[in-house]
Amino acid sequence: MTKALRIDKSSEEGLKELLKFLLENGKVKGVLTLRKMGEYGAISYSLITNPDDIDSTLPLFPLMPVNLGKQLSRLTLMEPATDPIAVVLRPCELRAFVELVKRNQGSLDNFLFIGSTCGGVYPLEMAVAGDIEGQLAQYWEAVEQGELIPDVRPACKACTYFVPYNSDITISLLGNKEIDKQSVLFLNTEKAEGFVEGIPGHYSEEEPDSATMEQIRKEREAEKQKLSDEVETKTLGIDDLTKTFSRCIECHNCSKVCPICYCHLCFFDSKDSEHGSDYYETELDKKGCVSMLSDTTFYHLVRLFHISTSCVGCGQCADVCPANIPLWAISLKMGEAVQRAFDYLPGKDIEEGLPLATFTPEEFAEIE
């Protein structure tokens, strides 16, 4: 049984009430959530300290402009949060942050994490085209019914980790039939109970609806199979990969937005990767012709190698790729295979060591 708080407002309004309550009562000094930037502006994350600004937030808007895990790392890279901050984020964002913290790229201290059972987010290009607002009714209807949502990121359709790990508070959204009437907040930690104390609402002990979650998980699993069969990269063999990455323009934007790629200077952006005339002329004499986009597959393979133990499948890489490479599917396939081999789920347990930093004498005996 988990402690639950019910506020008699729609899920989003109830959440906003909580955020305002936390700020007004000095329980937190800041709230990190989505907000619309001015009349013609975009929807972006904001660190809000003024309770009045909570009115213009859209904490449950189905968009991930940036993976917040990466931003939390930026905020806490030099020092942990100095004041308590409430953060509304998606399960994959929190998982990514946990992975970054394991790599000493930030700190979990002083954050109150508010997650939700996640229906997924729309691709960035839909936000750009202004197509999301028109879909919202359909989105929330599908969330309420616990159904697959059309047009969300393929990575989201294929996501089976839609119940957050490590969130202090979990908002029940998927399969919640009273989404418009009641905000249902599961208080997973004692910390959460302390923070919400004093807000008007009904408290109860409840069992999260695990049967519905299992049902949704099965549907997503099936969708994952279907989608990953559709992409051109059917296998992770070299032929398929070379074919897929042949469109790559080497902008490296997949790594820049990836919450796991944290290197401050990527090897592939460094001087070590700059070939110069000697290299090209030698290759030219050997082959007669040489592509000036010579390291694309190499770059992607190395990136996959570096991130696969921790890839949370957020899909940000695919969304920003100017060449429409289905990077989400490749990272997901690679990530799942590697994570299965190490019996490791990124972002699940902060105490669990990173697979490559953990030596187990009896591991992979079959390979030896």
Partner 1 sequence: MVITQKGAILAAEEGTEKAILNFIKQALSQGCFDAVLIPARVPTGDSFAYFLAQNEAFLEGASPLSPIMPVQGARVISSLARRGKGKKRIAAIMRPCEVRATIELAKLGQVELENMILITVDCPGVIPLSDYFEDPTKGDEVFKDASQNWNSKPMRPVCRICDKFSASGGEDLHVGTLGTNSGNILLIPHGSKGEDILNKLGIPLEEDISGWEAKVKKLTEERKKERKQANDALREDIEGIDRLVETFSACINCHNCMRVCPICYCQQCNFDSDNMKFTFEDYITRAKARGRLMIPTDTLLFHIGRMLHMSLSCVSCGMCEDACPMAIPVAQIFTVVGDKNQEAFDYVPGRTIDELLPLTTFEEQEFLEVEQSYAGVSAKQEDQDD
145 contacts partner 1 (rule: CB under 8 A): no
Span 229-268, contacts to partner 1 by CB under 8 A: 243, 246-247, 249-253, 256-257, 264-265
15 contacts partner 1 (rule: CB under 8 A): no
Residue 319 beta carbon to partner 1: minimum distance, rounded to whole angstroms: 6
In the bound state with partner 1, the residue whose beta carbon lies nearer, of 52 and 190, is: 52
Span 79-108, contacts to partner 1 by CB under 8 A: 79-83, 85
Q: Is 50 exposed, middle or buried (0-12, 13-18, 19+ CB in 10 A)?
A: exposed
In the bound state with partner 1, the residue whose beta carbon lies nearer, of 4 and 114, is: 114
Please provide residue 278's backbone torsions phi and psi, each rounded to the nearest 5 degrees. Answer: -55, -50
Q: How far apart are CA 308 and CA 302, in angstroms?
A: 10
In the bound state with partner 1, the residue whose beta carbon lies nearer, of 48 and 184, is: 48
Query: Which H or E run contains 145?
Result: helix 136-145
Per CB under 8 A, the list member of 1, 289, 365, 367 interacting with partner 1 is 289
Per CB under 8 A, the list member of 323, 341, 345, 354 interacting with partner 1 is 323
276 contacts partner 1 (rule: CB under 8 A): yes
25 contacts partner 1 (rule: CB under 8 A): no
Residue 243 beta carbon to partner 1: minimum distance, rounded to whole angstroms: 5
272 contacts partner 1 (rule: CB under 8 A): no
Per CB under 8 A, the list member of 4, 7, 75, 159 interacting with partner 1 is 75
Residue 97 beta carbon to partner 1: minimum distance, rounded to whole angstroms: 13
In the bound state with partner 1, the residue whose beta carbon lies nearer, of 68 and 143, is: 68
Q: How far apart are CA 362 and CA 368, in angstroms?
A: 10
Q: How far is CA 83 from the centre of its chain?
A: 24
The residue among 173, 156, 158 whose CA lies nearest residue 213 is: 173
Count CB neighbours of 111 within 10 A. Answer: 24
Q: How far apart are CA 26 and CA 166, in angstroms?
A: 23
Per CB under 8 A, the list member of 7, 22, 48, 314 interacting with partner 1 is 48
Give the Å distances, CA to CA, from 46 to 33, 229, 297, 355.
6, 38, 36, 34
Q: How far apart are CA 23 and CA 195, in angstroms?
A: 11
Per CB under 8 A, the list member of 1, 26, 40, 368 interacting with partner 1 is 40
Q: How far apart are CA 137 and CA 12, in angstroms?
A: 14
Residue 180 beta carbon to partner 1: minimum distance, rounded to whole angstroms: 28
Span 327-356, contacts to partner 1 by CB under 8 A: none
Residue 74 beta carbon to partner 1: minimum distance, rounded to whole angstroms: 7
88 dihedral zone (left: phi>0; alpha: psi -120 to 50; beta): beta
Give the Å distances, CA to CA, from 338 to 189, 309, 334.
31, 6, 6
User: What letter represents residue 210's amino acid?
Assistant: S
53 contacts partner 1 (rule: CB under 8 A): yes
Residue 251 beta carbon to partner 1: minimum distance, rounded to whole angstroms: 5
Candidates 43-51, 191-199, 334-342, 344-352: pick the segment binding partner 1 (CB under 8 A). Answer: 43-51
Residue 366 beta carbon to partner 1: minimum distance, rounded to whole angstroms: 36
